[in-house]
């Protein structure tokens, strides 16, 4: 990378570190406090669904926003909307307004989705070399993983000594503190990013062969992504039924550890060019076969870690493949970034529902069905890839 690219990347990562630190702390604190504040477990489920819907809608309209504002201003807009979400959450929790709290969570979903899409699009423009882009992408995953691990370990302890309002205020400070790093990014030269994104760009792109080559294997890899939050939050799920609540809650640290390990493994794969992993990663359902032999805490943690790592790595590899294939045109990069975020949000919302439904109906026997589905999707992808070549 040249000096200008190095400077842009440093500014982007400083921005990401500061804003993610506050966002992860306040997000975990919010969901940990929802049931206690409003006295209903359904509130938590509804809030999670509402945030996912907000992220889906944002992912769909993101190319239009980036088309109008470009990446730099879109990142600033995401921080402004973050401040709005904090204000709504403060009103919701201090005045016991469930509607305001849910609206604040939805706004945080808009903030997160827009920031992710604009960040990845800006990074793909700042780093033109494919291998360098993959390395920076892996570094981004590692950074978020470390911050998520810190939040998962510290938030439950922090809430015992610090008020929720203080955590919200800290998040607000990080939103403001991160903006100068975006403002220091170089302005886009006139005409350097040709664009034609409109409200239907994501819909049109979903029929593109590149999008289909991304969608099929990622669907296979992420269909089990909901197994970790289900096992961590519910004692009725077959995989975690024999674990105590305190042991189940360690699952969140496993997810953070999976993200950190994903970054390291991905950078190693980029360096060694071992892309045969593409064929193995979507088949993470085979890790569940261990549950047929043992459902001890060690076995369950191994299964969760294997699925978390493979799902995260699967998305990372195929998402970057998609972005690199679209890198020749900035409008396509924006649309590809938005499409990948939309697919991930959709799969993360569908996966827990499917696992919960089939787990309750078939119990441990559902393992065979999900493995068969993953194998079928992988065969379709390989066939489609052979035809495309």
pLDDT band of residue 266 (cuts 50, 70, 90) is: confident
- Residue pLDDT, tens place only, 329-369: 656 788 888 999 999 988 888 888 788 788 778 878 888 99
- Residue pLDDT, tens place only, 126-183: 887 888 888 899 899 999 999 988 988 888 889 889 999 999 999 999 999 999 999 9
pLDDT band of residue 190 (cuts 50, 70, 90) is: very low
For the segment 379-385, the average pLDDT, to the nearest whole number, is 87
For the segment 218-243, the average pLDDT, to the nearest whole number, is 77
For the segment 44-65, the average pLDDT, to the nearest whole number, is 86
- What domains are there in the chain, each with its CATH number? 1-128+155-182 (1.20.1250), 201-389 (1.20.1250.20)
pLDDT at position 92 over 90:
yes
**pTM of the model as a whole:** 0.85
The upper half-sphere exposure of residue 136, i.e. CA atoms within 13 Å in the direction of its Cβ, equals 25
Q: What is the pLDDT of residue 61?
A: 92
Q: Which residues contact 27 (CB under 8 A, 6 or more apart)?
A: 108, 151
Higher pLDDT, 38 or 233: 38
Q: What is the pLDDT of residue 83?
A: 97
């Amino acid at each position: 990378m040249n000096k200008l690219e190095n400077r842009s990347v440093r500014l982007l990562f400083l921005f990401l570190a500061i804003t993610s630190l506050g966002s992860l702390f306040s997000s975990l604190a919010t969901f940990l406090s929802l049931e206690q504040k409003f006295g209903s477990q359904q509130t938590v489920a509804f809030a999670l669904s509402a945030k996912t819907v907000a992220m889906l809608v944002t992912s769909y309209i993101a190319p239009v926003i980036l088309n109008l504002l470009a990446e730099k201003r879109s990142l600033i807009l995401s921080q402004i909307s973050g401040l709005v979400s904090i204000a709504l959450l403060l009103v919701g929790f201090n005045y016991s307004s469930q509607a305001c709290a849910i609206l604040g969570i939805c706004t945080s979903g808009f903030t997160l989705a827009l920031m992710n899409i604009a960040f990845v699009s800006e990074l793909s423009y700042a780093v033109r070399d494919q291998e360098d882009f993959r390395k920076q992408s892996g570094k981004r995953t590692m950074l978020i993983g470390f911050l998520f691990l810190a939040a998962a370990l510290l938030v439950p302890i922090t809430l015992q000594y610090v008020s929720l309002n203080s955590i919200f205020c800290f998040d607000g400070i990080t939103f403001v503190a991160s903006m100068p790093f975006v403002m220091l990014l170089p302005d886009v030269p006139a005409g350097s990013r040709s664009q034609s994104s409109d409200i239907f760009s994501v819909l049109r792109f979903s029929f593109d062969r590149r999008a289909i080559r991304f969608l099929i294997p990622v669907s296979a890899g992420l269909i089990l992504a909901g197994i970790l939050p289900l096992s961590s939050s519910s004692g009725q799920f077959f995989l975690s039924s024999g674990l105590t609540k305190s042991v189940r809650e360690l699952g969140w640290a496993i997810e953070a550890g999976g993200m950190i390990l994903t970054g390291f493994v991905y950078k190693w794969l980029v360096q060694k060019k071992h892309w045969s992993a593409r064929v193995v990663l979507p088949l993470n359902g085979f890790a569940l076969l261990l549950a047929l032999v043992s459902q001890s805490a060690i076995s369950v943690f191994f299964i969760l870690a294997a699925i978390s790592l493979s799902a995260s790595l699967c998305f990372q590899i195929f998402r970057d493949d998609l972005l690199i294939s679209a890198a020749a045109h900035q409008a396509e990069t924006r649309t590809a970034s938005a499409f990948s975020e939309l697919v991930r949000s959709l799969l993360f919302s569908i996966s827990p529902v499917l696992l919960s439904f089939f787990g309750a109906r078939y119990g441990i026997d559902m393992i065979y069905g999900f493995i068969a589905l993953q194998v079928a999707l992988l065969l379709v992808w390989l066939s489609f890839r052979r035809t495309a070549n």
